[in-house]
Structure 1
């Protein structure tokens, strides 16, 4: 995959690093905008000024974004998509949701995403593998990783396929053992029963397979207790 910045340089798309909130109007900005879209003139051919009634700002978790004034403008949607991809890797589903939040129409979003997939700027399988590596680093299990992938907008079938591929390499078993060793170290001042209980609780939250948890618990937290 090529980076979004490389795509911008190759295709001459302007504004990739600009903030999504509108900047104060300048003659140069008006000229540039008019050259790209030709949509910001009134009936007499003059630049329309002061038309900010269609701009609304929605805020969440302390961050704001501006709803587009041109929901059917595919070029503007493409620029917004590239800015989002520059900020962070995303799945097609995750990017689609972000563009929808900004007010672009579904058919425009679909066209932009199809083009980005064609250019290999979007690849759900590659993105899913990256997320799996992050989940394993957080000592998560198969079930928890599938849930994380779908939360990030990866199609469930793709998520299951990529996770199964990782499971066949034994990465989730190793993550469970690493979790067990971590719990044993942190709770070393506690009794074995407490350590075992904390391990099962953590393993359940992280989506590990119960059989794997049982094997790890039996090996690390043995104190004459029956297996779960």
Structure 2
């Protein structure tokens, strides 16, 4: 038997939930929010959430693990940005912390280094000027900070990238 909205038209909350999960995994809170935004009746949302749980289609721990793996690799996000993103998805801080522990510190540093290298627009000659070096340092630390990298990674990476560019021989 197919459940329908109380208005009698349109897809059921269950159908909508399955479509949302077909696009990508969702956290419990994210699913709840999306169904509420679609204006399904509260009792239908509750039944749908219960059914999703029974079918084990919502798992915040697995969602957090997948989110961290995907976003750290493809979007070049640091652990602080990922923590913020997980919080907006309704993931508990303890669950988020467990997922973030899976990030390899060296891999995170390599991604940050690659990103900083791409963003550094000054050549070795320009970086000989202390004022230009300071400007480059500010720009790179800001870029990496906005991507959510921890301060110790930012400081280390930016110093190394600038030093490597200064040492580069054209």
| TM class by smaller structure | 0.7 to 0.9
Counterpart check, 1:219 vs 2:160 = yes
Distance 1:68 1:81, change over 3 A: farther
Pairs aligned (count): 154
Where does residue 203 of structure 1 map in the other structure? 144
Given that residues 139 and 176 in structure 1 are in contact (C-alpha distance below 8 angstroms), is that contact kept between their aligned partners in structure 2? no
Q: Structure 2 matches for 1:101-116, cutoff 5 A?
A: 101-116=37-52
**Bigger helix fraction:** 2
Where does residue 144 of structure 1 map in the other structure? 81
Given that residues 144 and 206 in structure 1 are in contact (C-alpha distance below 8 angstroms), is that contact kept between their aligned partners in structure 2? yes
TM-score for the superposition, normalised by structure 2: 0.74
Q: Which has the bigger relative contact order, CA under 8 A and spacing at least 6?
A: 2
Task: Kindly state the Cα deviation for residue 115 of structure 1 after the two structures are TM-superposed.
Answer: 2.0
Where does residue 27 of structure 1 map in the other structure? none
Q: Which of 155, 180, 186 is matched with 2:92 structurally?
A: 155
Q: Structure 2 matches for 1:118-133, cutoff 5 A?
A: 118-133=54-69
* Mapped partners of 2:114, 2:137: distance in 1: 11
Flag structure 1 segments of 5+ consecutive residues without an equivalent.
1-12, 14-35, 40-66, 224-228
Where does residue 176 of structure 1 map in the other structure? 109
* Mapped partners of 1:151, 1:184: distance in 2: 30
Task: Kindly state the Cα deviation for residue 147 of structure 1 after the two structures are TM-superposed.
Answer: 0.7
TM-score for the superposition, normalised by structure 1: 0.57
* Mapped partners of 1:130, 1:108: distance in 2: 28
Where does residue 93 of structure 1 map in the other structure? 29
RMSD: 2.9
Where does residue 45 of structure 1 map in the other structure? none
Runs of 4+ with >6 A deviation: none
Task: Kindly state the Cα deviation for residue 117 of structure 1 after the two structures are TM-superposed.
Answer: 2.1
Where does residue 7 of structure 2 map in the other structure? 69
Given that residues 109 and 157 in structure 2 are in contact (C-alpha distance below 8 angstroms), is that contact kept between their aligned partners in structure 1? yes
Distance 1:152 1:68, change over 3 A: farther
Task: Kindly state the Cα deviation for residue 109 of structure 1 after the two structures are TM-superposed.
Answer: 1.8
Q: Which has more radius of gyration?
A: 1
